[in-house]
């Protein structure tokens, strides 16, 4: 597969993924844990992406924008996994999204009002007193990221048409995203 040439996760990370036996590929292990993640699902496409994001992450926002054409054309289903790791308002903003009656609407508010609120980043006000359930959900997502040795966002994870799995950290250029989409299962 041509993912090594794309260098989506950087040469060292990609080499580590490629060198692993399929059962030990870190992306496959992470993919198996996606059932534990608290997700916000967007889109109805046949291809599936999982994206860990922080509401205050400018690179996450850029990835959100780059995925718009794929979501609008019903090419992809994106499971957004909120974490609160970047700034002091990140946990409150992630909690506001998770505790919302309509999580997708709250997520869209955060993304569409990017940079328009009192603080830089996502355009949703931080929740001051999240419920115990919301705090547990946020902790679950934060721990999934940390338990897999990932400490930055966005992290995009996907299975491939040949039965493997890959993830990349950061936002790829739009042309690289277009190159990987045919391989996403």
The residue among 85, 76, 181 whose CA lies nearest residue 138 is 85
CATH of the domain at 72: 3.40.30.10
CA–CA dist 17, 117 (Å, integer): 39
Per-residue pLDDT, 121: 82
What pLDDT, in 10s, does the model give residues 95-109?
Answer: 999 999 999 999 999
User: 81 is in which domain, residue-wise?
Assistant: 38-183
DSSP classification of residue 164? -
| 126 within domain boundaries | yes
Percent of the chain's residues with pLDDT above 90? 76
Is 46 part of a structural domain of the chain?
A: yes
């Amino acid at each position: 597969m041509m993912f090594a040439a794309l260098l989506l996760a950087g040469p060292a990370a990609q080499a580590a993924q490629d060198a692993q036996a399929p059962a030990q590929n870190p992306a496959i292990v992470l993919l198996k844990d996606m059932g534990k993640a608290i997700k916000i699902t967007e889109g109805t496409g046949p291809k599936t992406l999982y994206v860990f994001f922080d509401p205050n992450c400018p690179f996450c926002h850029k990835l959100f924008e780059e995925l718009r054409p794929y979501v609008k054309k019903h090419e992809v289903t994106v499971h957004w996994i909120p974490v609160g790791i970047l700034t002091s308002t990140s946990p409150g903003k992630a909690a506001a999204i998770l505790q919302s009656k309509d999580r997708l609407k709250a997520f869209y508010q955060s993304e569409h009002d990017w940079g328009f609120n009192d603080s830089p980043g996502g355009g949703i006000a931080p929740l001051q007193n999240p419920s115990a359930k919301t705090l547990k959900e946020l902790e679950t997502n934060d721990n999934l990221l940390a338990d897999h040795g990932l400490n930055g966002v966005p992290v995009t994870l996907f299975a491939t048409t040949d039965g493997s799995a890959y993830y990349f950290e950061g936002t790829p250029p739009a042309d690289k995203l277009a190159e990987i989409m045919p391989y996403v299962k």
